[in-house]
């Protein structure tokens, strides 16, 4: 081992958003970083599909909390504007209810007031109070709760942290807390479904996730030019500029451990890549089950862990455009609470499922051929379960979707399909190594947040670290970017304890051009 690299060599397993952001940060701090990814490109579940001129984002479709994205680039001396063009979506989205009514959500207060008063007279004043509470939840969470590493349970339960937990109402449940502000069941649903961005039920999630509707309505919904895949492309470019080396089509077979340390990784072909530390961006439960020796380290409370929902996906290339659809459209089924019980407790597809339709050409026309639409459909469904066969369930869900769209005034939608691709929980599991096909990783319920969530540093193998949705602090693109910052801080602390000398890189002085797309 050369003295100049001793303690500095980092192997990152996986090129998802968290792995990319962490790799760039670590290289900027002076580490020698290599990334190994089993697929042929960056992004993980934040990926894309391209067929015959149509482009679909595979997973995430919106950007919330743009300040978190800005901080990621600023941390390595860059400006996000030189890598990404973020376009604001306004109106935000339209919600369709089973009784035939709908509400168009917007960040423009007067227009939003008119929409709310039309559904529930007197609700606008309470909506302003709801936003005010959401702002406190948003700022307190980012500044004091989610955005820091905890030394342990005692640190998390200190009087100062506990005061903030109560301040953001993390001890309450989301649906019940929102119900204090709205009487109409339609508005209660419209202000709580956002927990599904995290793959959790609003009836089980902490009320602190009231920060999500505030993030949408108070800060705004954004969309990168070129689609969400522009984000991993931009992060990969950033990492390469910092000296990170990428290896695609390179599956890691094992993270090697001996004597309470990891020595690197063994590739599928048998090659061993040595490292002073390993940062795993593969989904954490999968990593402990498939990549690590159970004699060296184990995942605590493995049998009690709760997983998020999954998604049945349709990617539809249409022969024409549907101007009646906004960029973001939410359609609710009949039984709001029952549908969550079906997904999370009974592990079955709801009889009348809710779903989300994304029409990205409303914001970026380059994502489909001229005069056509690239529609993205997400139907929330349970993660993999022995009682669910997606060869059977998939066609049923598909038929229900088209029947409901016909009721909403789109009777020719199915016959207008030019290209169709399908993604089920089995595909989420097989393509991205997501345990149980849970599209969002581990759940963020009361027992799996803060220090109760699997740590970003292994308890027994101290030079093994984790980044991504299933480790601290949680799931969702902004949270995963925060995860990259937190694990970098953890790794820097470990490196300093080892006596490793690092020299942070100086950012390039020449402005960078263009948009990663």
Spatial CB neighbours of 57, under 8 Å, sequence gap ≥ 6: 46, 47, 48, 227, 228, 229, 358, 360, 376
Asked if 103 and 186 touch (Cβ cutoff 8 Å), the reply is: yes
Q: Write the pLDDT tens digit of every residue in 154-191.
A: 777 788 878 877 787 877 899 999 999 999 999 999 99
Residue 5 has pLDDT above 60, yes or no: no
Q: Which of 5-14, 94-103, 374-383 has the weakest average pLDDT?
A: 5-14
Residue 171: what pLDDT?
78
Q: Write the pLDDT tens digit of every residue in 92-140.
A: 999 999 999 999 999 999 999 999 999 999 999 999 999 999 999 989 8
* Long-range contact pairs involving 97-106 (C-beta distance under 8 Å, separation at least 24): 97/186, 97/189, 97/332, 98/332, 98/333, 98/334, 98/352, 99/186, 101/186, 103/186, 103/187, 103/190, 104/326, 105/190, 105/216, 105/217, 106/217
Place of tokens 């995942």: 299
- pTM of the complete model beyond 0.85: yes
Q: Write the pLDDT tens digit of every residue in 251-288.
A: 999 999 999 999 999 999 999 999 999 999 999 999 99
Residue 328: what pLDDT?
98
Residue 2: what pLDDT?
37
Averaged pLDDT of the chain = 92
Asked if 497 and 65 touch (Cβ cutoff 8 Å), the reply is: no
The dihedrals phi and psi of 7, each to the nearest 5 degrees, come to 80, 0
Mean pLDDT of the 468-474 span? 93
């Amino acid at each position: 081992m050369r003295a100049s690299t001793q303690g500095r060599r980092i192997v990152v397993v996986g090129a998802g958003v968290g792995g990319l952001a962490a790799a760039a940060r670590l290289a900027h701090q002076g580490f020698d970083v290599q990334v190994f990814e089993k697929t042929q490109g960056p992004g993980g579940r934040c990926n894309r599909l391209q067929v015959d001129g149509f482009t679909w984002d595979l997973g995430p479709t919106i950007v919330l909390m743009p300040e978190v994205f800005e901080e990621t680039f600023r941390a390595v001396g860059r400006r996000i504007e030189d890598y990404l063009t973020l376009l604001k979506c306004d109106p935000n989205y339209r919600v369709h209810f089973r009784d035939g009514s709908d509400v168009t959500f917007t960040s423009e207060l007067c227009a939003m007031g008119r929409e709310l008063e039309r559904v529930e007279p007197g609700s606008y004043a309470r909506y302003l109070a709801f936003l005010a509470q959401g702002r406190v939840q948003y700022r307190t969470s980012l500044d004091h709760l989610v955005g820091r590493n905890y030394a342990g349970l005692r640190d998390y339960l200190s009087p100062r942290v506990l005061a903030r937990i109560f301040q953001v109402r993390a001890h309450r449940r989301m649906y019940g807390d929102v119900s204090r502000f709205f009487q109409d069941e339609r508005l209660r649903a419209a202000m709580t479904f956002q927990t599904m961005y995290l793959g959790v039920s609003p009836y089980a999630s902490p009320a602190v996730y009231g920060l999500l509707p505030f993030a949408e309505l108070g800060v705004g919904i954004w969309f990168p030019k070129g689609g969400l895949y522009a984000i991993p492309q931009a992060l990969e470019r950033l990492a390469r500029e910092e000296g990170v080396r990428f290896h695609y089509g390179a599956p890691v077979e094992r993270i090697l451990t001996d004597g309470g340390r990891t020595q690197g990784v063994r590739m599928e072909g048998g090659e061993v890549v040595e490292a002073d530390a390993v940062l795993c961006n593969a989904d954490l439960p999968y990593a402990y089950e498939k990549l690590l020796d159970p004699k060296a380290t184990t995942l605590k409370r493995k049998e009690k862990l709760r997983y998020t929902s999954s998604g049945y996906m349709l990617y539809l290339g249409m022969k024409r455009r549907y101007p009646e659809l906004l960029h973001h459209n939410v359609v609710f089924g009949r039984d709001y609470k029952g549908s969550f019980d079906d997904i999370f407790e009974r592990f079955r597809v709801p009889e009348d499922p809710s779903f989300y339709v994304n029409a990205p050409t409303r914001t970026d026309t380059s994502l489909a051929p001229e005069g056509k639409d690239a529609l993205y459909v997400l139907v929330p469904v349970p993660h993999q379960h022995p009682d669910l066969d997606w060869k059977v369930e998939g066609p049923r869900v598909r038929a229900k979707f088209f029947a409901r769209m016909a009721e909403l005034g789109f009777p020719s939608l199915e016959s207008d399909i030019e290209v169709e691709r399908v993604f089920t929980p089995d595909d989420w599991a097989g393509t991205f190594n997501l345990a149980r096909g849970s599209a969002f990783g581990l759940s963020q319920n009361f027992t799996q947040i803060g220090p109760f969530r699997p740590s970003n540093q292994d308890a027994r193998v101290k030079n093994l670290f984790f980044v991504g949705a299933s480790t601290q602090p949680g799931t969702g693109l902004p949270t995963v970017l925060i995860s990259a910052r937190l694990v970098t801080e953890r790794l820097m602390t470990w490196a300093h304890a080892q006596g490793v000398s690092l020299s942070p890189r100086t950012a390039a002085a020449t402005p960078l051009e263009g948009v990663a797309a």
